[in-house]
Amino acid sequence: MTVTADACPGSCTEVAERAWVQLIRAHRSALCSVEKALRAAELPPLEWYDVLLELEREGPLRSRDLQERLLLAQYNLSRLVDRMEAEGLIERTRCSDDARCQWIRTTTAGDALRQRMWPVYADAIRTAVESRLTKPQAAQLGELLARLSNCPKA
Amino acid sequence: MTVTADACPGSCTEVAERAWVQLIRAHRSALCSVEKALRAAELPPLEWYDVLLELEREGPLRSRDLQERLLLAQYNLSRLVDRMEAEGLIERTRCSDDARCQWIRTTTAGDALRQRMWPVYADAIRTAVESRLTKPQAAQLGELLARLSNCPKA
DNA sequence: ATTATTTAGATGCAAGTGCATATATAAGTC
DNA sequence: GACTTATATATGCACTTGCATCTAAATAAT
């Protein structure tokens, strides 16, 4: 079991292990190149985009929900929201019915940033995925991966 | 394009995008549970295992090679090796022929740690992968992912 | 109503990460 | 051989992450 590519060509590595290893490798390699592309374009990290898109698609969300959707840790989202709020990309407002909650919504600046990020992001995805897999392969990959991230309860 | 699970059921999301999103999600969710399992067992992070295994399988390696195999950034590996050396798990020795290089090798303690980590790691992988995919599915997933991490040149 | 429990979110601190750059050595050029 | 360029690794600094814990508000229990 390694994170290495050439893990005993043949059968010394169990299939599940191999899938796992390749998952880590593919993620490292793909994510790294996407992040680099964003930085090169002087754009913020990927997560910022995810937050903005999620808010744009779902409308204002509570921290809790955003956190769940993005699979982020509570404290990480909290601080991510801090940073993005400081940049004027999103806003927090207290819920009226539950004073513990808050609604998070995008601002105009947030929407604008999201739109500037998309082309760079999309291009990076094309390089990372589209250029290496046929359409049916990509579709199947998506299917298989989805099973891994689905909550057991779901 | 989101990191969210329910991205427009149907066709509004391109297949490559979906694969990408699911890659991120699957990785987050799986890695997170593995790391938690390791911490719960008071074991060091995953990478430590990867380094140790790689060294055990390939024998002493130069930093550069280890870095490439594990897809780690140079400065990250440098510091990872610092930490592991400080714990007595690996050793650095200068190459005789090229004074810039160094050989990295495991120690007895390193081997012992690796062996203690494996059961926990293996179990976490089983939970994360084996329980969610059939054997052929896992095999195919491994195949598809491998294409994503293969260097273009390879 | 009063207290205990749970839930939403924030935060101090230690550790890890990325960037840019430094150091040292090797290789190539003139 | 002095001078530039490339390679292997380390490091200062700012920022991010994880852990544990804290506060505040809502629910449940008595």
Q: What is the CATH number of the domain that holds B112?
A: 1.10.10.10
List strands edge to edge, sheet with A61-62. A61-62, A102-106, A90-94
Pure H helices in B63-107: 63-70, 74-86
pLDDT at A72 over 50: yes
Q: Higher model confidence: residue A58 or residue B11?
A: A58
Residues 6+ apart with CB under 8 A from A93: A102, A103, A105
**A4-18, A64-78, A140-154: range with highest mean pLDDT:** A64-78
Mean pLDDT score of chain A, rounded to an integer?
87
Determine whether the interchain pair B141/A23 forms a contact, defined as Cβ–Cβ distance below 8 Å: yes
C-alpha B13/C-alpha B10 separation (Å) is: 8
C-alpha B21/C-alpha B58 separation (Å) is: 34
Query: Does some domain include residue A37?
Result: yes
Q: What is the pLDDT, as a whole number, of residue A24? A: 92
Q: Kindly report the bases of strand D lying within 7 A of a protein C-beta atom.
A: 7-12, 16-21, 24-27
Query: Does some domain include residue A145?
Result: no
Q: What is the pLDDT, as a whole number, of residue B101? A: 92
Q: Residue B50: which pLDDT band, with cuts at 50, 70 and 90?
A: very high
pLDDT at B80 over 90: yes
Query: Does some domain include residue A64?
Result: yes
Q: Give the tokens for residue A77.
A: 């989202």
Average pLDDT (A107-127) is: 92
- DSSP 8-state code for residue A128: I
Beta bridge partners of A93: A103
Number of domains in chain B: 1
Query: Does some domain include residue B8?
Result: no
Determine whether the interchain pair B140/A138 forms a contact, defined as Cβ–Cβ distance below 8 Å: no
pLDDT at A80 over 50: yes
Residues within 7 Å (Cβ) of strand C = A 35-36, 39, 62-64, 67, 74-75, 78-79, 81-82, 92, 98, 100-102; B 45, 47, 73, 75-76, 79-80, 83, 97-100
Q: Residue A150: which pLDDT band, with cuts at 50, 70 and 90?
A: low
* Inter-residue contact A1 to A7 (CB < 8 Å): yes
C-alpha B129/C-alpha B121 separation (Å) is: 12
* Inter-residue contact B15 to B5 (CB < 8 Å): no
Query: Does some domain include residue B108?
Result: yes
Q: What is the pLDDT, as a whole number, of residue B152? A: 41
A3 chain-B contacts, CB cut-off 8 A: 50, 54, 69-71
Phi, psi of A133 (to 5 degrees): -135, 150
Query: Does some domain include residue A61?
Result: yes
Q: What is the pLDDT, as a whole number, of residue A10? A: 37
The residue range of the domain holding A41 is 15-129
A17 chain-B contacts, CB cut-off 8 A: 122, 125
Query: Does some domain include residue A74?
Result: yes
Query: Does some domain include residue B78?
Result: yes
Q: What is the pLDDT, as a whole number, of residue A11? A: 33
Radius of gyration over every alpha carbon of chain B, rounded to an integer in angstroms = 19
Q: What pLDDT digit, counting tens, does each position of B17-36 carry?
A: 889 999 999 999 889 889 98
Q: What is the pLDDT, as a whole number, of residue B126? A: 86
C-alpha B51/C-alpha B55 separation (Å) is: 6
C-alpha B9/C-alpha A148 separation (Å) is: 18
Phi, psi of A47 (to 5 degrees): -60, -35
Nearest to B84 by CA among B97, B99, B72: B72
Q: What pLDDT digit, counting tens, does each position of B87-137 carry?
A: 999 999 999 889 999 999 999 999 999 999 999 999 888 888 888 999 999
A148 chain-B contacts, CB cut-off 8 A: 22, 25-26, 29-30, 128-129, 132-133
Q: What is the pLDDT, as a whole number, of residue A151? A: 52
Average pLDDT (A125-146) is: 90
